[in-house]
């Protein structure tokens, strides 16, 4: 599904060169829930940005759904991002002057979808996060947890194969964070592959696989058999 | 997507109302000022009679006194030559005319006598210049020959004297002479006033028209410019008429190039004959000028308007440079939103289109406000060019000028926005997504 082979990424300024990812290789299979952990500056977000086609890399190969994305142009990358990838951010990144309906509408607009189909999908997505009744509200009228739910609805509305989440619970209190985590697990159980960057060791332990990065390299890649077993039982 | 982008533009305006309004004002001032000058140029340089401006020719003869500097290049015609050319053996329509001023004594006792600005002209004047009539019409050549006391009134004068009703057949007393009204003009204010630009290219058309022969026959008080390069022998009217003084505007209608050649040859032979008699000693190369050629030769569009155009263009450029700065600030301030949109599937082309439409939207609002600025500017110019005799009704924003104003505002704002848009669309989304 996602296969990175020997990816290298350097950031250069006039004085300093930083190796963000070094010979980074990772394969994520369809339906997995992978948490990515590591200290600040280790390369977690760089990895997520490359995975989400928001950032290019210097060398290596990246196959997404079997497609080599290494040499794609901006238009092809945007199209792939729109159709296959959903993003969830730590600070939600909702557009403050668009109401919930219009926020969730954004990715569908770039897909050139008809108004009726868009409406149906948006309402379904908002309903799945329990916020359909507030579709005309502005983000500022919602709590942090509700805003993150809208962001999840926006990420899911295009029915992506991948969900990339960067510290999705970082700005939430522990109760709300638990609720968001449960929602993500439900989404994963419905078949969506999730890669989530987090600092929270507790949350990482609730995923079936945890990849720990240090200095741009994978330090450990642990399969959590307890979670897999409990998921199997639940299923 | 166009309407979606327009809606986003409106929301973006609301999000930064101060910055957006500053941009709109910069565009409005720049475009408005430019359009004031554009309007002046547009109408001053316009063709006042496009349907036949290539067929109507103003005559110029080889006048001047070689012994006195700056007496050549006379724009008007002397009386003796006017009579000769009116008698030329051609069937072409021709018009001799000159201005006069007279006291009109209204038959209505409620009205006091007043001066009217009039024109004595030959019969063909009305048909040659496509003068529109509301009632009646002009007179024929026989009326010229027999000095019939007939008069054509302007729409305004007819309104003043007869309340705007059909006054054909009514009596009007001018300078103690009784005239019968034969026609009333419809609104007619050609700009420039091509048939007599020498007496004010943007002056109002006259209020009353009588046969030109009456100006001489009744020795009416002439008005307008008179240029003499040899003084009359004495102070009598007869001496004035026979003197080397130009005061008459002479036009001829020559429909085809052949007609123009025939008439030019005739003029050349007439001038040669006069030169042999001791007149017309300063030769000129061209004697026939169509309307556009004559307006250009007489520089109806003064040099000052070109200087003003350059100044207005500079002001527009300064306003647009300000707009570039403001747009840069506005669009770079949207870097986070642009990053989110990229993450959600917008490619750079789509973002570029979105922001071009946003710049165009601001430009359109600026253009609408610019129309107001231009209207105010034109009112200011009217005041500067004030005076009852000046025809400044042409100084207005017609549909064409209004459309050009809006288009100029939209296009110039989009051009001003290209660099800010390019910068905004090339931000690294990853940086702004994390920073948010």
Q: What are phi and psi of A19, to 5 degrees?
A: -90, 100
CA within 13 Å, CB half, B282: 15
DSSP secondary structure string for all residues of B223-253: ES--EEEE--SSSSHHHHHHSEEEEEEEEEE
- The verdict on a CB contact (< 8 Å) between B347 and A55 is no
Q: What's the pLDDT score for residue B380?
A: 84
Partners of residue B77 on adjacent β-strands: B248
- Ranges A200-214, B20-34, B118-132, most confident: B118-132
CA within 13 Å, CB half, B36: 23
Q: Any idea what DSSP says for residue B176?
A: T
Mean pLDDT of A106-119: 92
Nearest to B237 by CA among B214, B216, B212, B210: B216
Q: Are A79 and A31 in contact (CB under 8 A)?
A: no
Mean pLDDT of B22-35: 90
Q: Any idea what DSSP says for residue B113?
A: P
Query: Which residue of A9, A41, A47, A106 is the best one to mutate when testing the B interface, meaning the one whose CB has the most B CBs within 10 A?
Result: A106
- The verdict on a CB contact (< 8 Å) between A110 and B429 is no
In the structure encoding, which two tokens stand for residue B366, read together? 């600026």
Is the pTM here over 0.90, yes or no? no
Quick check: B334 pLDDT over 90?
no
Q: What's the pLDDT score for residue B214?
A: 93
Q: What's the pLDDT score for residue B308?
A: 81
User: CA torsion, points B363, B368, B371, B373, in degrees to nearest 10?
Assistant: -80
Place B226 in a pLDDT band, splitting at 50, 70 and 90. Answer: very high
- Closest partner CB to B436 (pick from A55, A89, A106): A89
- Closest partner CB to B340 (pick from A55, A78, A93): A93
Quick check: A232 pLDDT over 70?
no
Residue with tokens 């449960």: A182
Place A230 in a pLDDT band, splitting at 50, 70 and 90. Answer: low
- The verdict on a CB contact (< 8 Å) between B344 and A49 is no
For residue B337, which residues of chain A lie inside 8 Å, CB to CB?
Answer: 95
Do β-strands B56-59 and B77-78 pair in parallel, antiparallel, or remain unpaired? unpaired
Residue with tokens 């295009």: A158
* Residue range B120-179, pLDDT digits in tens: 999 999 999 999 999 999 999 999 999 999 999 999 999 999 999 999 999 999 999 999
| Number of residues that make up chain A | 235
Place B259 in a pLDDT band, splitting at 50, 70 and 90. Answer: very high
d(CA A147, CA A144) in angstroms, rounded, equals: 5
Q: Where are the domains of chain B?
A: 2-45+303-435, 56-297
Mean pLDDT of B396-417: 87
In the structure encoding, which two tokens stand for residue B369, read together? 């406000």
Please report the number of interchain residue pairs, chain A to chain B, with beta-carbon separation below 8 angstroms: 75
Into how many domains does chain A fold? 1
Domain that holds residue A198: 2-234
Q: How far is CA A55 from the centre of its chain?
A: 14
CATH classification at residue A81: 3.40.50.300
For residue A75, which residues of chain B lie inside 8 Å, CB to CB?
Answer: 347-349
User: CA torsion, points B288, B290, B292, B296, in degrees to nearest 10?
Assistant: 10
- The verdict on a CB contact (< 8 Å) between A45 and B429 is no
ipTM (interface predicted TM): 0.90
Q: Are A189 and A173 in contact (CB under 8 A)?
A: no
d(CA B251, CA A144) in angstroms, rounded, equals: 84
- Closest partner CB to A110 (pick from B336, B345, B434): B345
Give Cα separations from A20 to A3, A23, A46, A87, A109 (angstroms): 18, 10, 7, 21, 34
CB within 8 A of A17, min separation 6: which ones? Answer: A10, A11
In the structure encoding, which two tokens stand for residue B194, read together? 């091509």
d(CA B5, CA B362) in angstroms, rounded, equals: 13
Q: What's the pLDDT score for residue B436?
A: 43
d(CA A100, CA A122) in angstroms, rounded, equals: 9
Q: What's the pLDDT score for residue B388?
A: 58
Q: What's the pLDDT score for residue B390?
A: 60
Averaged confidence pLDDT in chain B: 90
At CB < 8 Å, which residues of chain B contact A? 1, 4, 11-12, 14-15, 336-337, 339-350, 428-430, 433-434, 436
Neighbours of B94 (CB within 10 A): 23
In the structure encoding, which two tokens stand for residue B236, read together? 């009598």
Q: What's the pLDDT score for residue B387?
A: 59
DSSP secondary structure string for all residues of A122-176: HHHHHHHTT-GGGTTS-GGGS-HHHHHHHHHHHHHTT--SEEEEESTTTTS-HHH
Q: What's the pLDDT score for residue A235?
A: 45
Residue with tokens 């050139």: A112
Q: Are B31 and B397 in contact (CB under 8 A)?
A: no
Quick check: B319 pLDDT over 50?
yes
Phi/psi-derived region of residue A216, left when phi > 0, alpha when psi is between -120 and 50, beta in every other case: left
Neighbours of A86 (CB within 10 A): 28
* Residue range A158-191, pLDDT digits in tens: 889 999 999 888 888 888 888 888 888 888 998 8
């Amino acid at each position: 599904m996602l296969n990175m082979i020997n990816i290298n990424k350097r950031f250069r300024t006039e004085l300093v060169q930083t190796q963000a990812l070094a010979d980074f290789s990772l394969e994520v299979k369809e339906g997995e829930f992978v948490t990515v952990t590591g200290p600040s500056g280790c390369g977690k977000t760089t990895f997520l940005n490359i995975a989400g086609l928001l950032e290019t890399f210097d060398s290596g190969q990246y196959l997404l759904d079997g497609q080599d994305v290494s040499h794609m142009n901006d238009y092809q990358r945007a199209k792939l991002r729109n159709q296959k990838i959903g993003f969830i951010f730590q600070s939600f990144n909702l557009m403050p002057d668009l109401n919930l309906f219009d926020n969730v509408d954004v990715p569908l607009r770039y897909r050139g979808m008809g108004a009726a189909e868009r409406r149906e999908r948006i309402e379904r997505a908002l309903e799945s996060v329990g916020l359909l009744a507030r579709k005309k509200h502005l983000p500022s009228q919602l709590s942090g947890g509700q805003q993150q739910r809208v962001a999840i609805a926006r990420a899911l509305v295009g029915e992506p194969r991948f969900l990339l989440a960067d510290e999705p619970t970082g700005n939430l209190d522990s109760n709300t964070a638990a609720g968001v985590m449960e929602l993500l697990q439900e989404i994963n159980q419905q078949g969506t592959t999730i890669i989530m960057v987090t600092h929270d060791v507790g949350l990482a332990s609730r995923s079936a696989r945890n990849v720990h990065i240090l200095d741009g390299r994978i330090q450990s890649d642990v399969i959590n058999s307890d979670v897999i077993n409990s998921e199997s039982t639940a299923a | 997507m166009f309407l979606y982008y327009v809606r986003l533009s409106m929301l973006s305006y609301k999000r930064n109302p101060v910055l957006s309004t500053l941009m709109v004002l910069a565009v409005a001032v720049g475009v408005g000022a430019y359009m004031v000058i554009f309007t002046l140029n547009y109408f001053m340089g316009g063709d006042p009679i496009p349907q036949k401006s290539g067929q109507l020719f103003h005559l110029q003869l080889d006048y001047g006194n070689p012994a006195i500097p700056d007496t050549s290049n006379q724009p008007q015609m002397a009386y003796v030559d006017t009579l000769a050319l009116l008698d030329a053996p051609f069937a072409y329509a021709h018009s001799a005319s000159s201005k006069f001023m007279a006291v009109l004594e209204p038959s209505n006792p409620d009205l006091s006598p007043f001066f009217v600005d009039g024109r004595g002209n030959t019969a063909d004047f009305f048909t040659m210049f496509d003068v529109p009539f509301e009632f009646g019409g002009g007179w024929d050549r026989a009326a010229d020959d027999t000095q019939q006391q007939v008069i054509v009134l302007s729409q305004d004068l007819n309104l003043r004297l007869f309340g705007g009703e059909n006054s054909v057949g009514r009596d009007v007393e001018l300078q103690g002479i009784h005239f019968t009204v034969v026609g009333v003009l419809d609104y007619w204010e050609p700009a420039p006033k091509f048939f007599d630009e020498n007496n004010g290219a943007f002056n109002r058309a006259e209020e009353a028209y009588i046969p030109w022969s009456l100006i001489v026959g009744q020795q009416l008080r002439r008005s307008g410019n008179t240029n003499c390069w040899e003084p009359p022998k004495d102070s009598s009217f007869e001496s004035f008429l026979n003197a080397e003084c130009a005061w008459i505007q002479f036009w001829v209608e020559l429909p085809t190039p052949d007609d123009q050649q025939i008439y030019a040859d005739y003029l050349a032979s007439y001038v040669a004959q006069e030169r042999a008699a001791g007149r017309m000693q300063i030769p000129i190369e061209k004697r026939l000028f169509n309307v556009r050629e004559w307006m250009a030769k007489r520089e109806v569009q003064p040099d000052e308007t070109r200087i003003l155009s350059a100044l207005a263009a500079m002001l527009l450029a300064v306003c647009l440079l300000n707009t570039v700065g403001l747009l840069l600030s506005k669009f770079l301030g949207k870097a986070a939103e642009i990053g989110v949109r990229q993450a959600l599937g917008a490619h750079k082309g789509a973002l570029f289109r979105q922001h071009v439409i946003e710049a165009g939207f601001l430009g359109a609002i600026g253009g609408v406000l610019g129309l107001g600025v231009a209207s105010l500017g034109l009112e200011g110019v009217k005041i500067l060019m004030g005076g009852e005799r000046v025809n400044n009704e042409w100084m207005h924003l017609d549909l064409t000028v209004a459309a050009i104003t809006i288009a100029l505002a939209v296009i110039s704002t989009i051009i001003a926005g290209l660099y800010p848009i390019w910068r905004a669309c090339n931000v690294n989304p990853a940086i702004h997504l994390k920073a948010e």
